[in-house]
Amino acid sequence: MSNQANNGAESASNFIREIIDRDLTEGKYDTVITRFPPEPNGYLHIGHAKSIVLNFGLAKDYNGRCHLRFDDTNPETENEEYIRSIKETVQWLGYDWGDHLYFASDYFEQLYAYAVKLIRDGKAYVDSQNEEKIRENRGSVNEPGKPSPYRDRSVDENLTLFKEMREGKYGNGEHVLRAKIDMASPHMIMRDPLLYRIKHAHHYRQGDNWCIYPMYDFAHPLEDAIENVTHSLCTLEFDTNRVLYDWVLENCLEPDELPTRPHQYEFARLNLSYTIMSKRKLLRLVKEGKVDGWDDPRLPTLAGMRRRGIPPEAIRTFCKEVGVTRTESIVEMSHFEHVLRDDLNLRTPRINGVTESLKVVITNYPEGKTDWIPASYWPRDIDKSGQREVPFTRELFIERDDFREDPPKGFHRLAPGREVRLRYGYFITCEEVIKNDDGVITELRCTYDPETRGGDAPDGRSPEGTLHWVSAEHAIPAELRRYNRLFNVAAPDAGDEDFTEHLNPESLVVKQGFVEPSILDDARDTRYQFERIGYFRQDQEDSEPGSLVLNEIVPLRDTWAEQEEAERQAEIERKRREKEAEKQRQRERSEAGAGDAFGDLNPDQRTEANALIAKYELDKVDAAVIARDEALTEFFRAVSGSDSAPPKLAANWIVNNLIGIMQDQTVRDLPFGPEEFSRFIALIDEGVISARIGDELLEKMMTSGEDPEMIVRREGLRQIGDSDSLKLVVEEIIAENPEKVQSYQEGKKALIGFFMGQVMQKTEGRANPEMARELLTRELEA
Ligand code: ATP
Ligand code: MG
């Protein structure tokens, strides 16, 4: 069959493709027809992109088609501005609906006719209970619903009432139309669901033609059927609606239409950490002025991403990479950024820009001289040619961060007396540091080596590092808008508190920087890599030749910050090992000299300690430490009284961690009690959080006194214990550090510490350490 050709498909197989392959093989349909059905009540976000890429992608791969259908059945929130932006966005993403643009509101007359058919067939009735009553009478999972007193209205009465509803005879809420299915169905949704509501409201396309509006569960399957959609794909939360989807079609369509009727399949929605996806919440940020409109580059809206400079190709790649499954998950923002960098790395020319400048005067370079030095746009890509000339002059700007008066270990950049390479320029040596009265460095005086033009020394010596720079005389001033995550917690809307509390006050940082002059020769929508900084593009609205404004699309990874973080992680790891060794020594001591641990206990404390050992099988050291302090003993017994916290584990955490961070407080001064602590222990016991995160969580509880579960939920501290997600992280790290991998394989096994540090950093400490170590060892040895 020609249209079954799945070869050359851009995307990996998934369960939906398997279903389509099966349907085509069985000859159920001859053309695959999908649809993307947004409601025009907001701008599209990256979650919608997943649905767009899936639906349009399938249509393309199977030589079928995908409809763009506005699901505009709700008059109150929809408008033309949203229609325009949605169309623009779908096209920007690279998809084309051809002639197949539809509006659900165009089907209102047909939908009405289907409803009348159901009434005629005795399968729908007008209910005059109010919605609250209807909800009350729906029953519960364990309890069947109560039939409405209006359930047995005659067909004629129903027809008349429904017609009058349409004619506007009744006010909002006076009647509804319901399907007559089964008030005792195990599927709550089948207990006579609502089909139509009275809503006296102006519809942006239909005006005041209608005052009754169909419900999603009734309208959507019929919209699909009217358009001959074959595979109707929606997100997992519609799983329970599928029985109703099927019921509506089976009871509205003619028997000969049934074999080719549409079917609904559900896939997991895309969630991204550090942001929110709900249109309603996005609308709040826009309305309350928390961001600068729907296309604010910090938003996960596609309009925002477009303005920021993110290429549509990168979004498509990302959507394909996260794949189509039926398991809910949260994709890490760092993964999205990784895909972005991969995409931009290949397609952007490299130029120089300085975000925070520090003036450098080359004292042995002639005043007034300009040397135009050729510089490649594609230094890392031998297949691409193309270069510009960059002016070298006596006064330059370098990045302020690239100089340290007192450089820490591992800082391979400029410092007093050091020589560095200016990329494509010369080697320079810092001779003198000039400061103002406040001690702020205002200028560096350097000398250059005239033999090193282009960035190479004839004697082959290599300097401390390579810096980017611009000529002070030629540099173009530019406003650089650098973006951080919009929220400072991983799951801003997971808790009970308002999500706007977690907005990151530093989500936008504006720098007055400088860019090399070649930028003025390029098209305004060119994307660049500013060497050593990040990817940038001019803001297409605010930037003008006389006053450049550039958005940072995504930073390059900051290896310096990463290294510091890796060192921090290594330090934590070291401390933990030390603590464990100390504990072990104590244990050995107390076992050797029996009773030693009890040495400084009075007789009562000794009795208590022995009781703890007998009842909870604590080890001697733990028992002694706890028994020595009456308040602590009480606390421990309360914790162990709860069923959730295993006593030995609780004792361990009390002795090894809690006491340490309490310092000279007593357990009675803690901002939390034994109940919260038991819940904390349970989280560790159940593996919800790792021990490493346990330390951090305990400190958070110390400062806020909040419930541990709430903190975990809000800050996304759950341990990553599924090997698939960890494997991705491990593979990423291995790919990013080829030299380290090689050294490891040549025998430097201690590098495992470095790799573990990387895993912990990328997962923000949430990786299950044993699993991470095992995966790393396996991948590194492979
Ligand atoms: P929101 O909850 O953000 O308001 P929505 O689902 O109400 O979104 P619609 O306009 O109804 O927005 O969505 C259009 C299509 O996009 C639907 O098929 C929906 O399932 C899909 N979609 C929405 N959000 C996501 C997401 N996060 N991941 C994948 N698909 C999504
Ligand atoms: Mg919706």
Whether 447 and 422 have beta carbons less than 8 Å apart is answered as no
Question: In this predicted model, which residue has the larger pLDDT, 543 or 738?
Answer: 543
Instruction: Give the closest residue (by CA) to ligand 1 atom 27.
Output: 47
Compare 560 and 355 and report the one with higher pLDDT: 355
Whether residue 220 has its Cβ less than 6 Å from ligand 1: no
Amino acid identity of residue 251, one-letter, is N
Query: What does the DSSP assignment read for 567-581?
Result: HHHHHHHHHHHHHHH
Task: List, for residues 370-400, the tens digit of each pLDDT value.
Answer: 999 999 999 877 778 899 999 999 999 999 9
19 contacts: CB under 8 Å, gap ≥ 6: 231, 265
Query: Which protein residue has the closest C-alpha to ligand 1 atom 23?
Result: 48
For ligand 1, pick from 52, 235, 283, 499 the residue to mutate: most ligand atoms within 8 Å of CB. 235
Residue located via tokens 């955490």: 653
What pLDDT score does 592 carry? 60
First to last CA, the chain: 42
Helical H segments across 289-415, by residue range: 302-308, 312-322, 333-347
Give percent above pLDDT 90 in the chain. 71
Residue in 225, 233, 232, 227 with CA at minimum distance from that of residue 258: 225
One-character DSSP codes across 82-121: HHHHHHHHHHHTT---TT-EEEGGGGHHHHHHHHHHHHHT
Tell me the C-alpha distance between 160 and 154, whole Å: 10
pLDDT at 559 over 70: no
Q: Does residue 360 have a pLDDT over 80? A: yes
6 pLDDT more than 60: no
Atom of ligand 1 lying closest to residue 238 CA: 20
- With cut-offs at 50, 70 and 90, classify the pLDDT of residue 102: very high
Averaged pLDDT, 411-433: 96
* Unique residue bearing structure tokens 């506005």: 70
Ligand 1 atom closest to Cα of 38? 10
List Cβ neighbours of 350 (8 Å cut-off, separation of 6 or more). Answer: 376, 377, 378, 379, 380, 528, 529, 530, 531
CB of 40 shorter than 6 A to ligand 1: no
Which residue minimizes the CA distance to atom 22 of ligand 1? 48
- Residue 495: the pLDDT is 85
The per-residue pLDDT for range 109-156, each reduced to its tens digit, is: 999 999 999 999 999 999 999 999 999 999 998 899 999 999 999 999
Indicate the helix (H) or strand (E) that contains 754: helix 752-762
Residue 570 reports pLDDT greater than 70: no
* C-alpha dist (Å) from residue 639 to 218, 249, 668: 53, 56, 14
**Helix (H, G, I), strand (E, B), or coil: what is residue 726?**
helix
Q: Which segments within 608-720 are labelled E, that is strand?
A: none
Ligand 1 mean position, distance from CA 287 (Å): 20
Phi (first) and psi of residue 430, to 5 degrees: -80, 120
Q: Is 647 in the pocket of ligand 1 (CB under 6 A)?
A: no
Contact 386, 349 (CB under 8 A): yes
Return mean pLDDT, the chain. 91
Atom 4 (ligand 1) nearest CA? 279
Residues 6+ apart with CB under 8 A from 159: 116, 119, 120
Which residue would you say has higher pLDDT here, 7 or 123? Answer: 123
Cα R_g (the chain), whole angstroms:
33
Write down the pLDDT at residue 8.
Answer: 38
pLDDT, residue 643, reads: 81
- State yes or no: pLDDT of 590 exceeds 70: no
Ligand index nearest the alpha carbon of residue 237: 1
pLDDT digits (tens, 9 = 90+) for 466-498: 999 999 999 999 999 999 999 988 889 988 899
25-40 b/e (C-beta count within 10 Å ≥ 16 → b):
eeeebeebbbbbbbbb
Higher pLDDT, 665 or 778: 778
Please determine, for residue 677, whether its predicted confidence score (pLDDT) is greater than 90. Answer: yes
C-alpha 251 to ligand 1 mean position (Å): 27
How high is the pLDDT of residue 560?
47
Return the ∠ at Cα 719 (arms to 715 and 724), rounded to 5°.
Answer: 120
Residue 777, φ and ψ in degrees, nearest 5: -60, -45
User: Which stretch of 82-96, 552-566, 584-598, 692-706 has the lowest confidence by average pLDDT?
Assistant: 584-598
Cα dihedral sign, 148-149-152-155? negative
Catalytic residues: 39, 269, 279
Q: What is the pLDDT of residues 9-68, one digit of tens each?
A: 456 678 999 999 999 999 999 999 999 999 999 999 999 999 999 999 999 999 999 999
Q: 735: helix, coil or strand?
A: helix
pLDDT of residue 568 exceeding 70: no
pLDDT at 451 exceeding the cut of 90: yes
Count of CB atoms situated within 10 Å of the CB of 231: 23
- The β-bridge relationship of strands 527-530 and 371-376 is unpaired
pLDDT grade for 3, boundaries at 50, 70 and 90: very low
Query: Which secondary-structure segment (H or E) carries 330?
Result: strand 330-331
Least confident piece of the model among 58-62, 96-100, 560-564: 560-564
Q: What is the mean pLDDT of residues 614-637?
A: 91
| DSSP-based three-state secondary structure for 54 | helix
Q: For CA atoms 98, 42, 104, 187, give the dihedral sign.
A: positive
Q: Which atom of ligand 1 approaches the CA of 235 most closely?
A: 20
SS3 234: strand
Can you give the pLDDT at residue 490?
A: 86
Is the pLDDT assigned to residue 82 strictly greater than 50? Answer: yes
Both tokens of 331, joined, read 């994709």
% of the chain surpassing 70 pLDDT = 94
**Tens of pLDDT, residues 234-253:** 999 999 999 999 999 999 99
Residue type, 62: Y
- Which atom of ligand 1 has the smallest separation from the CA of 39? 10
Of all protein residues, the one whose alpha carbon is nearest to atom 26 of ligand 1 is 47
Cα 278 to the center of its chain, rounded Å: 13
Question: Does ligand 1 lie within 6 Å of residue 234's CB atom?
Answer: yes
Give the angle subtended at the CA of 623 by the CAs of 699 and 655, to the nearest 5°.
15
- pLDDT score for 771: 84
Count CB-CB contacts under 10 A for residue 724.
9
**751 φ, ψ (degrees, to nearest 5):** -65, -10
Q: Please give the model's pTM, rounded to 2 decimal places.
A: 0.74
48 lines ligand 1 (CB under 6 A): yes
119 Cβ contact partners less than 8 Å away, ≥ 6 residues apart: 125, 155, 158, 159, 162, 177
Contact 744/734 with Cβ under 8 angstroms? Answer: no
